């Protein structure tokens, strides 16, 4: 099971997402994004909104940033948080998935962008995938 953690940064928010495979990594990164933008407890929320997402990018590192950027756009557009993902297709450069979420009254943090800075998926010494995500706030 993957996880995420906050990393120190002077002006932005950085998280390190870790997963046992690419799908787990995407899930961990999504959970990290959701916690930054909405700091209230998410686990007890009833998921009442569903939306589909289909993206293609140049590689898996660009894909995870493009994916999080698209999710961020959907969050602002729908005034909602989407912490749950059901992936139907995930390849090195393509993802097709359904996001589930819930409406909120407001966001805890205003995220301007998900950046490509230092965003490279690597295999760590525990043989898990990890990526550092920088959020421009």
pLDDT digits (tens, 9 = 90+) for 42-96: 888 999 999 999 999 999 999 999 999 999 999 999 999 999 999 999 999 999 9
Among the listed residues 131, 59, 57, 54, the one whose alpha carbon sits nearest the alpha carbon of residue 95: 54
pLDDT at 8 exceeding the cut of 80: no
CA distances from 67 to 40, 41, 52, 127 (A): 23, 23, 12, 23
- The correct CATH number of 3-136 out of 3.40.1190.20, 3.40.309.10, 3.55.10.10, 3.40.50.10440 is 3.55.10.10
Confidence bin at 9 (pLDDT 50/70/90): low
**Percent of the chain predicted with pLDDT > 90:** 86
On average, the pLDDT of the chain sits at 94
Domain assignments of the chain as residue spans, ordered by start? 3-136
Instruction: Kindly give the residue spans of alpha helices, DSSP state H, lying in the chain.
Output: 22-37, 60-78
Closest CA to 69 of 14, 135, 2, 3: 135
């Amino acid at each position: 099971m993957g996880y995420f953690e906050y990393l120190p940064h002077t002006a932005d928010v950085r998280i390190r997402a870790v997963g046992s495979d690419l799908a787990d990594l995407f899930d961990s990164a999504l959970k990290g994004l959701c916690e930054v933008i909405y700091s209230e407890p998410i686990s007890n929320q009833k998921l009442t909104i569903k939306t589909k997402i289909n993206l293609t990018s140049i590689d898996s590192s660009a894909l995870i940033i493009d994916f999080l950027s698209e999710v961020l756009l959907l969050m602002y557009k729908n005034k909602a948080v989407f912490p749950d993902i059901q992936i139907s297709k995930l390849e090195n450069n393509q993802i097709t998935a359904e996001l589930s979420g819930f409406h909120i009254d407001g966001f805890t943090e205003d995220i301007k962008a998900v950046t490509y800075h230092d965003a490279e998926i690597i295999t760590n010494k525990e043989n898990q995938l990890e990526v550092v995500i920088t959020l421009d706030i």
